[in-house]
Chain A
Amino acid sequence: MELFSNILYDTVYHSTPIILCVLGGIFAYKANVLNIALEGMMLNGAFVSVFTVYLTGSISAGILAAVLTTLLWGLVFSLLGITGKGNVIVIGLGINLIVPAIADFVLKRMELANISLQNVSVSSMKINIPILGEIPFLGKIISGHPLITYLAFVGILFFTVLMYKTKFGVYVRVVGENEDSAISLGIRTNRYKYVAVLIGSVCCALAGVNLSLERMSMFTNNMTAGRGFIAIAAIYCGQGRPIPSVLYAILFGIARSLAVNLSVYAGPAAGLFDTIPYIIMVAVLAAVSYMKHKTVKVRGFKLE
């Protein structure tokens, strides 16, 4: 039972950054701007937050700096990709390469191998919810997470409403589905694309802060370890709809938490749990696309 509740707690723990990335990516996906730079933006959030706290000692300054600098990357991405009409895949890859390079550069310059904050304790970041936390089994799983974890789960609801119940959400989807008709309606398409990308930056920054500052109060380079790409895959599997995409993100959280918790029993083979979500996702993608194209009989082959 102890193990089971640990697995569930870790599921929440490991899902959080991916959920945030997914939430950040869906608007860009719906606006037809594929944001591959989620990974780099998340790493930027992780690095800048810890680095700022290391220099200033103030946690709120760290979070603020992380969000602002990641917004800057979002602007670079939008300027080159939307205004400059560059290939967004290449720009995303570029950002994914530059951010770890900058982090490496700064770390070398400061003669540090990694940054670990001595004066920030991880346990002080955890928030115990008063009443919910006392429910016997569930309490342990729900309560005792850092702030951004709660934000992420509230964010699922918020973004679902934003996407389906507001004018903004409808416009973003129109821009993505048919840009020409959006223009003919007088919608400023570029503006909506910009906002979609920038929402993504903020979410990724928070994901990074959660990953480095809140969970471990330290930064090592490349600590995001492909979570941004996992988020992209989750978005694709869920076709940009918030709830299904988030469910795929949680699938990765479950796999990760199984790998961590069962490694005591299974030895190195526990690492293979990590591969399961990837394979499930490829299978899901194949099934979804197959079903979609089965009923459509179009001559011609369209490359995406």
Chain B
Amino acid sequence: MRNRKLLIAVSNSVFPVILAFVLGGIIILMIGGNPIETYGILIKKSLFTARGFTNTLHYAGPLILTGLAIAVTFKAKVYNMGVEGQMLLGGFFAGIAGAYLPEMSPILHKTICFAVAIVCGMIFAMIPAILKVKCHVNEMVVTLMLNYAMIKTLEFLTTGVFRDRSAGYVATPTIKDGAMFQRFGSSRMTMFFIISLILLAVMYILMEKSKLGYEITAIGKNPEFAEATGMRMGRKIIIMMLISGALSGIAGAGWMMSDQFKYTLSFSANPGLGWEGMLIALLGGHSPMGVFIASVFYAALKTGSDSINMYTSVPKEIVSIIQGLIILFLAVRFIKEHTQVFARTKKGEEA
């Protein structure tokens, strides 16, 4: 029974991916490219070379965290779309702390930056949580709106108050060396990836083995029933949002300290680490292990897309199209949980 459920869950994640790649292949064929060669390069350069693989892991780091931040709330059907804003706020103030604090021991400096980011993310996640619990406001709209308000505010702070005048473009000052994560050798991977793995393990225990995790699952399955059994929904929602805010804050700070080193207007690129986290959480079925696999897969697409540009005539934007198709198909459960497709084969075995 357990195996069957897992099989359905896995096939519900894998099938949309395959479908998206097939459609992407058709597009590549239409513009006169070779889909098999293109996909070959995509996978080979991102997973099967040492340099490519470590780069993939480097990009996977913040994605694991934003994916978890989304998964922990989406699993309870609390649609927190504010991860992008929480992440940007955390990253921004981690960058400010990294640049303006005096020189100190590297570990202390990084800890302070992370702490600042966690606090920022949590405060920003508290607003929709409290509004939801106290005033029954739809959290999705509030988080969406606050995202834009946050992006505009940070844009103002970057172009005005905290602008680095010596830089030729709009950016905050570069963080001090003490706050930067050192790269491992020639690859881009840093200690931050290890930190995200540790947090992944913590979240795994929290979501799969703890009482809170059980409650999150229960709320997601049937909120009325969960409340009737005596769970304090309001408090649980606030806790979930706080965890989500803290994780997104760490993601932003880590991205700041391991890759960007300063806040620019394209800090989280397009479509943004928070939105990518949403795709990853959906792809991973809101489970921590799923999120891990999905973020490595997603990061591989990201690193591989640069190689596509280099070695084939296909524009690398094909990868974004495939990503969009994946999320589109993920919305529909092609194989229902109570389907007979697998049951029939099982019966055959028994007979």
Asked if A229 and B144 sit within 8 Å, CB to CB, the answer is yes
Asked if A91 and B159 sit within 8 Å, CB to CB, the answer is no
Q: Is B323 an interface residue (CB 8 A)?
A: yes
Which listed residue, B135, B137, B278, B324, touches A98 by the CB 8 Å rule?
B324
Chain B 292-336 interface mask (CB, 8 Å, partner A; 1/0)? 000000000000000000000001111011011101111111000
**In the complex with contacts A80-B331, A275-B153, A281-B223 CB distance below 8 A:** no
Q: Tell me the smallest distance from the CB of A130 to a CB of chain B, in Å.
A: 40
Asked if B317 and A105 sit within 8 Å, CB to CB, the answer is yes
Asked if A98 and B332 sit within 8 Å, CB to CB, the answer is no
How many angstroms from the CA of A105 to the CA of B321 in the assembled complex? 8
Asked if B152 and A271 sit within 8 Å, CB to CB, the answer is yes
- Total A-B pairs in contact (CB under 8 Å)? 150
For B320, give the chain A residue with the smallest CB separation: A101
Asked if A301 and B328 sit within 8 Å, CB to CB, the answer is no
Which listed residue, B223, B271, B325, B331, touches A87 by the CB 8 Å rule?
B331
Looking at B152, B153, B223, which has the most chain A CB atoms within 10 Å of its CB? B152
Looking at A80, A93, A229, A292, which has the most chain B CB atoms within 10 Å of its CB? A93
266-297 of chain A: CB within 8 A of chain B: 267-269, 271-272, 274-275, 278-279, 281-282, 285-287, 289-290, 292-293
Asked if B148 and A232 sit within 8 Å, CB to CB, the answer is no
Count class of interface residues, chain B:
35 or more
**In the complex with contacts A281-B145, A303-B223, A94-B328 CB distance below 8 A:** yes
How many angstroms from the CA of A233 to the CA of B142 in the assembled complex? 8
Asked if B145 and A101 sit within 8 Å, CB to CB, the answer is no
59-107 of chain A: CB within 8 A of chain B: 76, 80-81, 84-91, 93-95, 97-102, 104-105
Q: Tell me the smallest distance from the CB of A87 to a CB of chain B, in Å.
A: 5
How many angstroms from the CA of A293 to the CA of B279 in the assembled complex? 33
Q: Is B233 an interface residue (CB 8 A)?
A: yes
**In the complex with contacts A272-B153, A282-B131, A108-B315 CB distance below 8 A:** yes
Asked if B137 and A285 sit within 8 Å, CB to CB, the answer is yes
How many angstroms from the CA of A293 to the CA of B224 in the assembled complex? 17
Which listed residue, B140, B156, B321, B329, touches A272 by the CB 8 Å rule?
B156
Q: Is B234 an interface residue (CB 8 A)?
A: yes
Which 3 A/B pairs are nearest by Cβ-Cβ distance? A98-B324, A94-B328, A101-B320
